Amino acid sequence: MYNVKNITNDLYWVGANDRRLALFEGVYDIPTGVSYNSYLLMDEKTVLLDTVDKAVAHQFFENIEHVLNGKKLDYLIINHMEPDHCAELQNLINKYPEIKIVCNAKIQTMINQFFDLSFPQEQYIIVKEGDTLQTGKHTLQFALAPMVHWPEVMVTYDTTDKILFSADAFGSFGAIDGNIFADEVDFDHRYMDEARRYYTNIVGKYGPQVQMLLKKAANMDIQMICPLHGYVWRKNLNIFIDKYQKWSTYEPEIKSVLIPYASVYGNTQNAAEILAGELANLGVKDIKMYDTSVTHPSYIVSDAFKYSHIVFASTTYNMGIFVSMENLLHDMNAHNIQNRKIAIIENGSWAAASGNLMTEIVSKWKNTEIIGNRLTLKSSLKTDQREDLKNLAKEIAATF
Ligand code: FEO
């Protein structure tokens, strides 16, 4: 049965939720699900903005049919060609063969990569930066947003109702629980962490490209943001735009210390716990610790974008960095993390090697400084080293 939501008088959300997907993109667990947003504009011409993942196709087609109520579907605008928004393209064309596809040239190339379509060229409207589409009352304008999150991405701005259809930008993990607007839920409490985890892991690498999009957006009068995942923003847009500003410039949100540790028998953990306590004694608030063997890197990457300081504590394993920590560090590297202050704790029962290896990785990060005296444990923390940990805490706190 259809399940649509009114966004404005003539704009409808016709997307759907997936609450059973184990891993988004085969990588990220999504305990609160994910929504695939598609929007249907019922102007003189009818316009579908993006489609959905194949997992929710049934719901999606029922939704479109209900809103169209017998009207013809005139246009499909494709802002992003990733299959979580395009997997149903062939089926959509089969159902609405007269539809015109509005996209840019890169998107058209990708359509032909993903599908074996015999779709006539005259049914394509290929757009460039700044081009517009008149649909009756509404004028839709297109702006390219390459690498937010793929090279073909564009966004669509409804100049009539001042709505930005932002593709993956301003999206979030988490299904839509009845409400459709971010101001109708306790977004900060319930969704901001997942919005950060979504941004940092999906688009975090492409900060400069997100900055380009934010600059374009600054020249638009935006009253509403309709992303491809998560809630629609119509109030306090600056809250989310400010977050994007920070995330895309790798500026920490808080001055505090994140401590991911890798510990086989608990001795490296012991040092990390004591350090965290000493930092707390110095007045540092909201310290966060993660066991890298327990928590998926996507959560730690996300907090790495939030915290100003990171202490990596790892035992040595096979003369290298412990596997879960090594994985995390490479993941952070891949997400372009930078502009942080880093301290290192290593452990090794016969030859501690993890400290140098971790330093080698993090010292390549832009605007990143290694602070404090590295602490080296030989199997376990010894009484005389407790003072060293206290001093390391002081050295870290001194850089706040
Ligand atoms: Fe939600 Fe980049 O796809």
The span from the CA of 28 to the CA of 11, in Å, is 31
**CA 302 to ligand 1 centroid distance, Å:** 17
**CA 149 to ligand 1 centroid distance, Å:** 7
The answer to whether 256 touches 287, Cβ cutoff 8 Å, is yes
**CA 259 to ligand 1 centroid distance, Å:** 30
Helix (H/G/I), strand (E/B), else coil: 21: coil
Its CATH class, for the domain covering 254-397, is alpha beta
Atom of ligand 1 nearest to the CA of 82: 3
Is the CB of residue 138 below 6 angstroms from any atom belonging to ligand 1?
Answer: no
Is the CB of residue 18 below 6 angstroms from any atom belonging to ligand 1?
Answer: no
One-letter amino acid at 390 equals: K
Is the CB of residue 168 below 6 angstroms from any atom belonging to ligand 1?
Answer: yes
The answer to whether 21 touches 33, Cβ cutoff 8 Å, is yes
Residue in 191, 179, 182, 230 with CA at minimum distance from that of residue 6: 179
Is the CB of residue 335 below 6 angstroms from any atom belonging to ligand 1?
Answer: no
Is the CB of residue 82 below 6 angstroms from any atom belonging to ligand 1?
Answer: yes
- Domain ranges within the chain, ordered by starting residue: 5-248, 254-397
The answer to whether 198 touches 3, Cβ cutoff 8 Å, is no
Q: Are strands 23-24 and 320-321 parallel, antiparallel or unpaired?
A: unpaired
Phi, psi of 313 (to 5 degrees): -120, 120
**CA 86 to ligand 1 centroid distance, Å:** 10
| Strand ranges in 170-277 using DSSP code E only, listed in sequence order | 224-226, 254-262
Is the CB of residue 53 below 6 angstroms from any atom belonging to ligand 1?
Answer: no
Is the CB of residue 84 below 6 angstroms from any atom belonging to ligand 1?
Answer: yes
**CA 150 to ligand 1 centroid distance, Å:** 8
The span from the CA of 340 to the CA of 329, in Å, is 13
The span from the CA of 286 to the CA of 116, in Å, is 52
Atom of ligand 1 nearest to the CA of 149: 2
**CA 385 to ligand 1 centroid distance, Å:** 48
Residue in 153, 168, 172, 150 with CA at minimum distance from that of residue 28: 172
CA atoms 41, 46, 51, 57: torsion sign? positive
**CA 84 to ligand 1 centroid distance, Å:** 6
The answer to whether 102 touches 111, Cβ cutoff 8 Å, is no
pTM of the shown model: 0.96
The whole-number pLDDT of residue 149 equals: 87
CATH fold group of domain 5-248: Metallo-beta-lactamase; Chain A (3.60.15)
Q: Whose CA is nearest to atom 3 of ligand 1?
A: 82
How many CB atoms within 10 Å of residue 238?
A: 10
Tokens representing 371 are 């602070």
The whole-number pLDDT of residue 53 equals: 98
Atom of ligand 1 nearest to the CA of 153: 2
**CA 278 to ligand 1 centroid distance, Å:** 42
The span from the CA of 358 to the CA of 342, in Å, is 10
**CA 373 to ligand 1 centroid distance, Å:** 42
The whole-number pLDDT of residue 247 equals: 98
Tokens representing 184 are 């109708």
The whole-number pLDDT of residue 118 equals: 85
Output DSSP code: residue 106: H
pLDDT in tens, the chain (400 residues): 999 999 999 999 999 999 999 999 999 999 999 999 999 999 999 999 999 999 999 999 999 999 999 999 999 999 999 999 999 999 999 999 999 999 999 999 999 999 998 899 999 999 999 999 999 999 999 999 999 989 999 999 999 999 999 999 999 999 999 999 999 999 999 999 999 999 999 999 999 999 999 999 999 999 999 999 999 999 999 999 999 999 999 999 999 999 999 999 999 999 999 999 999 999 999 999 999 999 999 999 999 999 999 999 999 999 999 999 999 999 999 999 999 999 999 999 999 999 999 999 999 999 999 999 999 999 999 999 999 999 999 999 999 9
The burial class, CB within 10 Å (0-12 / 13-18 / 19+), for 360 is exposed
